[in-house]
Amino acid sequence: MTTPTPLHWLEGPRRQGVTWGVPWPRGAVRAGEPFGLADGTPVQSWVTATWPDGSVKWSAHAIGPQEPPADAYELVAGGAPGAPERPVVVTRESGLLRVSTGARVWTVAEAGGTLIRSISLGSRELVRDVRLVSLRQDIPDEDGSRVRRQATGHVQRVVVEQDGPVRAVLRLEGRHGDWLPFTVRLYFYAGADDVRVVHTFVWDGDPGRDFLAGLGLRADVVMRDDPHDRHVRLAGEGGFLTEAVRGLTGLRRDPGHAVRRAQVEGRPCGPIGNPEVAERLHLIPAWNDYTLDQTSADGFTLRKRTAPGHAWVTIPSGTRAQGYGYVGGATGGGLGFGLRDFWRLHPARLDVRGAATELATATVWLWSPSAPPMDLRFYHDGLGQDGFAEQLEGLEITYEDYEPGFGDARGVARTHELTLRAYAATPRAEELAEHAAALNSPGLLRAAPERILQAGVFGDWGLPDRSTPAHAEIEDRLDFLFEHYVREREQRRWYGFWDYGDVMHTYDADRHTWRYDVGGYAWDNSELSPDLWLWYQYLRTGRADVFRFAEAMTRHTGEVDVYHLGRWKGLGTRHNVQHWGCSCKQLRVSNAAYRRFLYYLTADERTGDLLDELSAPEETFVAIDPLRKVRDDGYAPDPSALSVGLGADWGALAAAWLTRWERHGDERARALLLGTMADIGALPHGFLHGQALLDLGTGRFDGSWRAPVGISHLSAVFGLPEICAELIALDLDVPGFERAWLDYCRLYLAPAAVQEAELGHALRGVSLVQAHSRLTAYAAARTGDAELAAWAWRRFMIDEDDQLNSNALQRQEDWSVTLAGGPGVLAPVLEAPFVSTNDAAQYGLAAIQNLALIGGRLRPGEAQAPPAR
């Protein structure tokens, strides 16, 4: 039995089902070994990755809601898992799946127009026909009159991915009407009264004639109570709109304090003793319909009406709604419903309809039908860039890589997380507030940074180090950069359905804003690996705010910036004004290296889907040649001789193959990984050759063809150093590979004389010096070369000889923000014009890895001469 692993809550205890991941040192946990929690809490466990020797590398675990939840737990490999008092049970009968979580039973049809046929509490049916709805129109509103067509999502297939005893997962696949494919996962936990709903849809329309005008999740709620004992609750900024369908407060005649208090608190009013009220109940309006509409990150409106055909009455509104609601009765029960990150993913809406009838309807709109329809047309007319020559000229002025037809959103996706909760009665305000908080900051248990580091996962990183002023300064700057992006997301309102989770690429100091409208300088789309920077910063600090920022980025970049169907399936899109706008479609953006963290730390199945989409990433090189606009050698993609860059391309391939191998034991992925590693190792100058030809038939590089020695400043800034560090640490016995990588790390920033002596000429195009200092640090750490370590710190600290891209972070001595305001600025902002995302991400990665690899050799002021070898 291994030493117990302490587990703590990311943001505090939650009374909800929780799933999390834990890494293990190689050889510490054998395959098939059970897991338990030291306090006996029932836990369900499974393996999400293994080491090459077959031992467990990552395990996933789930517990149901506990009353009360413990402040901390201890996970024991070899312990007893325990049995829940009320286990999840999944049964199948006559085309129906019934999931029992205790007193509640959720019935799911294996095909048809519903996600959940019914939700029952004992013998009482609370909810019917949970379904997906959408609205579609063929012209945008600006073009005149339009007709909206409504459709209901149709489920074509249901798969039981887990069936208890603590956690059950159903995957439902289908289409919204005749166009948008969707995947919905339903998560059930032992003893829980809620189901977590994760909805993903893939855009599969023609942007010129298909305009999504509404997308929602809808459910019918059985209403049994008298109208004055029926309640509607809608979350605002900090509390709830507290309404009864037929209100008894504020009347001219008083029903009595006890009645008024009961109604406000959601309890049965009981007999109304004042006959002046009791005999006039039919004269009090019943409010049938309610709407909360979040049209932006800064405002929501509330309104209600008595019935269709009558005017809406405005209710006091607010700024940022929490996205949670309830409709039901004091004795008959009802439904809680909500959308995580509701205001951040605007335009969103919550509707209650028919609350005064026998069957109310609650709708969570992922795209509000009050908003203009979703318009995914390209943002300009091409500007005459019909050929490669004109497109390359455009790249020189706006940094946009345009090509007709390539700014197409067909195939991009978006994932939303929702909740449905079956209440036995109208809940108290405090209970509703707790459930709204759990929706927006779902519980997560985590191992401490020290424990994750001890497991030896994710390559080279270490814990924060403030042991000297020099170390403390770097840590302060890492904190500054993260806090700057948190502030910028808020100041610049980087929110919205398609945008939330991404950040901008480059700042425009003249306009005091980011270059949101300038070609390739707008949305970042993982350029130079901000995803990796954020995840490594989380690993080393354990900070909840860093985790949530990285989580949102991974959710966005893995869905919106990547194609999930069509001709570019498996590829991502380079940075652009629109997330899908650039004609550069590459594996470096769909990179598995950016998704692995979220998957292993949370065992999130949707992120697992994204990794599975890369089961054969090498085949994407047949679809499109990333270098087609600059080639002069007549190359065209050939399955027997595919041109693959040994930097960003092979790094992304290796990440996908490694992940596939450790998750699924895929021997094909293993062979591709080890075979191409050996082929790189066999090249005279390894990675310095820059590219090789891959034969899909053999899965190997052509050893007889060798590109000349040369480098690209982009080769090692899309996850290659991190993946190579992991591969070398695995001791895979691949001759020559480590030597090839160390040569690249040692020579990239070496003095020209050293490069010329070893390669026959000095390297041209050396750039991003600060970023590449971590490569020099890696070589220094592996070889124990103190002189090389000093050189790495010099290149990290001092801005010199950067031939293409001088690093503003190196040149800036005073890292601080300044206030920009006045009539020439839209709103006052705190700005740091010297920060761009390229520099921030690579500074973060270089700082973290340099500290981990050669932190003990950081001695500012000491002479740091170029290495002689």
Closest to 859 (Cα-Cα) out of 805, 789, 801, 765: 789
Q: How confident is the model at residue 658 (pLDDT cuts 50, 70, 90)?
A: very high
Evaluate if residue 853 carries a pLDDT over 50: yes
E strand or H helix at 662: helix 648-664
Rounded Cα–Cα distance for residues 796 and 775 (Å): 11
Question: What sign for the dihedral angle of Cα 761, 767, 773, 778?
Answer: negative
pLDDT tens by residue, 265-294: 999 999 999 999 999 999 999 999 999 999
Domain ranges of the chain: 5-77, 95-220
Q: Are 528 and 718 in contact (CB under 8 A)?
A: yes
Rounded Cα–Cα distance for residues 124 and 224 (Å): 11
Closest to 648 (Cα-Cα) out of 581, 553, 712: 712
Rounded Cα–Cα distance for residues 599 and 382 (Å): 39
Specify the pLDDT at position 862: 55
pLDDT above 70 as % of the chain: 98
Specify the pLDDT at position 800: 73
The average confidence (pLDDT) of the chain is 96
Specify the pLDDT at position 812: 86
Evaluate if residue 753 carries a pLDDT over 80: yes
Closest to 220 (Cα-Cα) out of 132, 101, 335: 335
Q: Are 232 and 336 in contact (CB under 8 A)?
A: no
Q: Residue 578 to residues 391, 399, 507: CA-CA distances in angstroms?
A: 17, 13, 17
Q: How confident is the model at residue 159 (pLDDT cuts 50, 70, 90)?
A: very high
| Partner residues linked to 562 by β-bridges | 572
Residue linked to tokens 């900024």: 237
**What average pLDDT score do residues 800-823 get?**
83
Rounded Cα–Cα distance for residues 686 and 706 (Å): 10
Evaluate if residue 600 carries a pLDDT over 90: yes
Specify the pLDDT at position 632: 87
pLDDT tens by residue, 97-145: 999 999 999 999 999 999 999 999 999 999 999 999 999 999 887 766 7
Q: Are 522 and 580 in contact (CB under 8 A)?
A: no
Rounded Cα–Cα distance for residues 801 and 342 (Å): 48
Q: Residue 623 to residues 249, 572, 628, 642: CA-CA distances in angstroms?
A: 66, 13, 12, 11
Rounded Cα–Cα distance for residues 752 and 762 (Å): 5
Q: How confident is the model at residue 863 (pLDDT cuts 50, 70, 90)?
A: very low
Evaluate if residue 488 carries a pLDDT over 90: yes
Evaluate if residue 642 carries a pLDDT over 50: yes
Report cis status (omega within 30 of 0) of the bond before 735.
no
290 phi and psi angles, rounded to 5 deg:
-135, 145
- For residue 162, the SS3 value is strand
Closest to 687 (Cα-Cα) out of 659, 646, 654, 628: 646
Contacts of 755 (CB under 8 A, 6+ apart): 747, 761, 762, 763
Rounded Cα–Cα distance for residues 628 and 622 (Å): 12
Specify the pLDDT at position 864: 61
Evaluate if residue 39 carries a pLDDT over 80: yes
Helix and strand tally (H, E) in the chain? 20, 36
Q: Are 789 and 780 in contact (CB under 8 A)?
A: yes
pLDDT tens by residue, 61-106: 999 999 999 999 999 999 999 999 999 999 999 999 999 999 999 9
Rounded Cα–Cα distance for residues 719 and 247 (Å): 60
Q: Residue 800 to residues 419, 523, 573, 705, 752: CA-CA distances in angstroms?
A: 54, 29, 32, 36, 14
| DSSP result, 708-744 | PS---TTTTSSSHHHHHHHHHHTT---TTHHHHHHHH
In this structure, which amino acid lies at residue 799?
D
Rounded Cα–Cα distance for residues 62 and 465 (Å): 33
Q: How confident is the model at residue 859 (pLDDT cuts 50, 70, 90)?
A: confident
Q: Residue 604 to residues 48, 187, 379, 589: CA-CA distances in angstroms?
A: 10, 11, 34, 20
Encoding tokens for residue 260? 């008024």
E strand or H helix at 326: strand 324-329
Specify the pLDDT at position 865: 66
Evaluate if residue 758 carries a pLDDT over 60: yes
Evaluate if residue 412 carries a pLDDT over 80: yes
672 phi and psi angles, rounded to 5 deg:
-65, -45
Evaluate if residue 413 carries a pLDDT over 90: yes
pLDDT tens by residue, 683-742: 999 999 999 999 999 999 999 999 999 999 999 999 999 999 999 999 999 999 999 999
Specify the pLDDT at position 755: 97
**What average pLDDT score do residues 409-414 get?**
98
E strand or H helix at 851: helix 837-854
Specify the pLDDT at position 805: 61
Contacts of 312 (CB under 8 A, 6+ apart): 291, 303, 304, 305
DSSP annotation of 766 = -
pLDDT tens by residue, 350-383: 999 999 999 999 999 999 999 999 999 999 999 9
| DSSP result, 430-479 | HHHHHHHHHHHS---EE--HHHHHHHT-SSS------SSHHHHHHHHHHH
E strand or H helix at 6: strand 5-9
Lowest mean pLDDT: which of 22-36, 146-160, 600-614, 854-868? 854-868
Closest to 340 (Cα-Cα) out of 433, 256, 438: 438
DSSP annotation of 761 = S
Q: Beta strand 167-176 with 149-163: parallel, antiparallel or unpaired?
A: antiparallel
pLDDT tens by residue, 200-254: 999 999 999 999 999 999 999 999 999 999 999 999 998 999 999 999 999 999 9
DSSP annotation of 353 = E
Evaluate if residue 869 carries a pLDDT over 80: no
Residue spans of alpha helices (H) in 492-574 = 530-541, 544-559
385 phi and psi angles, rounded to 5 deg:
-90, 75
Encoding tokens for residue 518? 């300038």
Evaluate if residue 867 carries a pLDDT over 90: no
Rounded Cα–Cα distance for residues 167 and 89 (Å): 9
Q: Residue 777 to residues 333, 719, 765, 820: CA-CA distances in angstroms?
A: 62, 16, 20, 38
